[in-house]
Structure 1
Amino acid sequence: MPRLRTPAALALLAGVAVFGLGAGLTANHFEAKGRLEKRAQALTGGDPVTGRAAIEQRPCGGCHQIPGVRGASGKVGPPLAAFAQRTYIGGRVNNAPENLILWLQDPHAIDPQSAMPPMGIGPREARDIAAYLYTLK
């Protein structure tokens, strides 16, 4: 049986290959995102999906740029992209889950001079928000 090598056949094969590559990349993206979310949950005891929703309900985005959060384009506080890769929280304490959870609940307990106001965030919500922040790339 002869092989088809017409431009249309080659274009079809190229299309199938591109589709397959795209599907594979998409699957890898979702798998990596799932691993990252599970790691953040293990570190914080929180839920990153709930944390993102909590951030959207609060005025966090008025001061911070926060990837994945609608309207979070503030320029007062630091942008929170790649949060897990930062060394310090608020320039004061090591970036560790328990420190972040405490910071979210009461930043002035860690740094009385911090410009970040207390937001009335409780322990459960702080864990969820921390989980979301640790998923940011």
Structure 2
Amino acid sequence: MNTLPGYPLLTGAPLRVLFGALFSALVGALSCAGCSQALPTHDEATGGNPRQGRETIVRYGCGACHTIDGVPNARGLVGPPLAGIGERSYIAGHLPNTAENLMRWIEHPQRFDPQSAMPELGVTQADARDIVAYLLHQP
């Protein structure tokens, strides 16, 4: 058999393990090809623009308190990380998690919970729509 010196010929179970690992890596790479897709320009649930939402999050400084995937320097530890926020049951522990409630919370958190550490930042309704659209479409 032709083998390279120092490299044993793989057969049987070791060969199946190697091919299985290579196949899994290939499938993983192909399925993640869409992971870096651009954000959509419109979100039906909010009427907001996810692309604009990322810029709006930066402008309001949300990353000073929250960790937010896809937002540069958003590594804050004061508030909860916002990855997967659309999958959570509640906002701030008691407000049912809907796109509309999340927008209202972002605009006026102190109206819902005066003891919350989240400050009133003067977020406009349009900006809240864009922010929520981004949060629901985080890369």
Same fold (TM over 0.5): yes
Q: What is the CA deviation profile of residues 56-85 of structure 1, one whole-angstrom value per residue up to 9, with x for unaligned ones?
A: 112211110011111111111001111111
Greater helix share, structure number: 1
Aligned to 1:99: 101
Structure 1 residue identity aligned to 2:107: Q
Q: How does 1:44-123 map to 2 (within 5 A)?
A: 44-123=46-125
**Length, aligned pairs only:** 119
Which of residues 29, 37, 42 is equivalent to 2:35?
29
Distance 2:44 2:131 in 1: 13
* Percent identity between the two aligned chains: 45
Distance 1:127 1:116 in 2: 18
Say whether the 8 Å CA contact 1:84–1:136 is kept in structure 2.
no
Q: Which runs of 5+ in 1 are unaligned?
A: 1-19
Distance 1:49 1:83 in 2: 17
Structure 1 residue identity aligned to 2:35: H
Relative to the length of structure 2, the TM-score reads 0.72
Say whether the 8 Å CA contact 1:92–1:110 is kept in structure 2.
no
Distance 2:33 2:81 in 1: 28
Q: What is the CA deviation profile of residues 88-135 of structure 1, one whole-angstrom value per residue up to 9, with x for unaligned ones?
A: 111121110110110011001111211100011000000000000111
Distance 2:90 2:29 in 1: 38
Change (3 A) 1:128 1:21: same
Relative to the length of structure 1, the TM-score reads 0.73
